[in-house]
Amino acid sequence: MTITTEQVKELRDATGAGMMDCKRALQEADGNFDSAVKHLREKGIAKAAKRSSKVASEGAVASYIHMGGKIGVLVEVNCETDFVARGEAFQTFVKDLCLQICSASPLYVKKEDVPPAAYDAEKEVYVKQSLETGKPQNICEKIAEGKMNKWFSEVCLLEQPFVKDDKKTITDLMAELTAKCGEKIDIRRFVRFQLGEGIEKAESNLAAEVAAELAKVKQS
């Protein structure tokens, strides 16, 4: 079924959700406006979008130490009130984030945090790889854009699949928490320390140990 721009705009105005989220919701609802609104609310997207202008200055700074001090994570997550910050759902989310950062090693919180130089360098690699196959420049540019989305899912925390449920991204997880607690949630910053980072031999040995330990955590 063809979804018009007017339909998408109407749904966006009503829910505050993004254009692509609105389009997907309408497609899944076969163009039915009410069903699309319900879909966005169930996903937590509508409520999260409407609260995006709110100020989130409460929250928590949490730490996680893994494998007897070989990996350490610090993360700051914000919400609107101290009441929510002390709640079980928020605290569980923060702990899951620490595990995510420890396991998946993101470099940035969101796409917008990626420095232009890093973005351009990565895209240039993909364009050159495609050009080597003999494809036209414009086609290679499109192929590179598609590969950049995969790259974002590797280096940006919000785009990463959740380590405990890879059918969800961290963005999905955050939207679910917003829907549950009724407040804006914001992952402000994080840092990940790894013992021996930068020393090739230590990193090689540690990688296998980390993988084994994290596999145990995920199964628990």
If asked whether residues 139 and 69 sit together in one domain, one would say no
pLDDT of residue 47: 54
Q: Which domain holds residue 212?
A: 58-111+156-219
Give average pLDDT by consecutive 10-residue segment, the chain, 220 residues: 83 73 86 82 61 72 89 94 92 95 95 92 92 88 90 95 93 88 90 83 56 63
Last residue of a domain, one of 130, 153, 176: 153
Angle in degrees, CA 96, 146, 138, rounded to 5: 160
If asked whether residues 209 and 196 sit together in one domain, one would say yes
Residue 41: CATH number of its domain: 1.10.8.10
Place of tokens 């939207």: 175
If asked whether residues 147 and 96 sit together in one domain, one would say no
pLDDT of residue 16: 66
Quote the strand ranges of the chain, DSSP E.
58-66, 71-79, 161-162, 165-169, 186-194
- Domains contained in the chain, number: 3
If asked whether residues 88 and 173 sit together in one domain, one would say yes
Residue 191: CATH number of its domain: 3.30.479.20
